Amino acid sequence: MTLLTLPSTRQEAFRWTDVDGIAAAASLPRADAGPADAFWLDLPGDRLLFVDGELHASSRLGRAELAEVAASDHPLGSRASGRGWRLALSADAVADPVQVVHLSTGGDNHLAAEILLADDAVGTVVETYAGRGWANRFARLTLGKAARLQRAVRLLQDEGFASTRDEAELGTGASLVQIALGAGGAGSRIDAQVVAGEGAFAEFGGALLTRGTQKQECAVAVRHAEPNGQSRQYWRAVAADQSAASLAARVEVARHAQKTDGEQSLRGILLKRTATVNLKPELEIFADDVKCAHGATVGELDERALFYMQSRGVPRARAQAILTRAFVADAIERIGNEVVADAFMADADAWLERAL
């Protein structure tokens, strides 16, 4: 693999991407990544373990299967197009959650996925990235009329890079709630394009926690192609040390997508003044009868709140942890499944313990 084939930071869509980090991740030598056991949540349903992109024999497949996935033309997503896994659910399916663990041992690996929800189908997918190296993923999500998909993705790789590209299409009245947590030691890019149909609901958000010299970013666009859609993009970034977290979120409203209700909130906290948080909120609205609230702020923890807690007996470091946790929980608690939300908060807590 050569650098020349990766996107350039001169392209606006990749201006904050850690391209050097991707190259470095791909050249990490292979090493034992340890067992995947700790990453399974106590949930019924399928368990898919991919080690360096290959399905491991210990996997438990019920609804999910291996399949070919139609290609993407995205610069990173296209590398992962083709061979992958598929989850197709119909309305009468028992909607047990599907867990996927992506364990990497070094070098680079690429894998595609397709999630197809028929009209009125309901699905839950939880994905975990662990290990080292460059894990590159592409997923095509297609939701039929009134279908509902909850997807939670946590990036816990110790080192290297994880890049995901999702392309989602939501049918009339469909609902996608996808929440990501970046709480490992690796770089990342969460890249997505969501197209929402009439009356569809698209929530795409999460929390990126960075430390050391780590760089993580999201680049998510939600396009309201039809009227009466709703979207929510709540992203939180916490940056420690010399790290950088970048949040780029975009809402597009097509000319006839009237009564669209969009909300976008990008917020960052710097735990050290040497850290960086980049925010790029974008709205592109062609319809005239829409509501699109948006807010973007970066700052340090509220000194007044810190002192208030200290004055009640809470040591400063603990007060910082409590305030940072509340900030992160704001995004993570939007995960509907309690087991998943609790596990993600525990990962965030472990990160906070280490960073503060």
Partner 1 sequence: MLQIDNLHAEIDGKPILKGLTLSVSAGEVHAIMGPNGAGKSTLGYVLGGRPGYEVTDGSVTFDGRDLLGMEPHERAAAGLFLGFQYPVEIPGVSNVQFLRESLNAQRASRDEKPLSGGEFLKLARAEAAKLDINAEMLKRPVNVGFSGGEKKRNEMVQMGIIDPKLAILDETDSGLDIDALRIVGEGINRVMRRPDKAVVLITHYERLLEYVAPDFVHVLVDGRVVRSGDIELARELEREGYGAVSA
Residues near partner 1, by CB under 8 A: 302-305, 307-316, 318, 322-323, 325-327, 329-330
Q: How far is the CB of 154 from partner 1 (least distance, A)?
A: 20
Cα–Cα nearest to 191, from 159, 169, 152, 221: 221
Nearer to partner 1, 296 or 314 (CB): 314
Nearer to partner 1, 287 or 323 (CB): 323
Nearer to partner 1, 289 or 300 (CB): 300
Looking at the chain, how many residues does it have? 356
Nearer to partner 1, 136 or 324 (CB): 324
Distances (CA, A) of 32 to 49, 69, 110: 15, 29, 19
Nearer to partner 1, 284 or 302 (CB): 302
Q: How far is the CB of 224 from partner 1 (least distance, A)?
A: 29
Provide the 3-class DSSP secondary structure of residue 285: strand
Nearer to partner 1, 130 or 269 (CB): 269
Distance separating alpha carbons of residues 167 and 27, to the nearest angstrom: 28
Nearer to partner 1, 92 or 303 (CB): 303
Distance separating alpha carbons of residues 153 and 178, to the nearest angstrom: 8
Distance separating alpha carbons of residues 107 and 300, to the nearest angstrom: 37
Residue 45 has φ and ψ, to the nearest 5°, of 105, -175
Distance separating alpha carbons of residues 47 and 61, to the nearest angstrom: 6
Q: How far is the CB of 338 from partner 1 (least distance, A)?
A: 17
Nearer to partner 1, 256 or 316 (CB): 316
Q: How far is the CB of 333 from partner 1 (least distance, A)?
A: 9
The DSSP bridge partners found for residue 19 are none
Distance separating alpha carbons of residues 163 and 189, to the nearest angstrom: 5
| Cβ pair 45, 162 in contact under 8 A | no
Nearer to partner 1, 10 or 312 (CB): 312
Return the number of other C-beta atoms located less than 10 Å from residue 102's C-beta: 28
Q: What share of the chain is helix, strand, coil (3-state, %, to 5)?
A: 20, 45, 35
Q: How far is the CB of 286 from partner 1 (least distance, A)?
A: 34
Show the 3-state SS of 114-141: EEEECCCCEEEEEEEEEEEEEEEEEEEE
Q: How far is the CB of 139 from partner 1 (least distance, A)?
A: 31
Provide the 3-class DSSP secondary structure of residue 309: helix
Q: Please, which residues have CB within 8 angstroms of residue 130's CB and are 6 or more apart in sequence?
A: 33, 36, 39, 101, 102, 103, 104, 156, 157, 158, 184
94's tokens: 């028992």
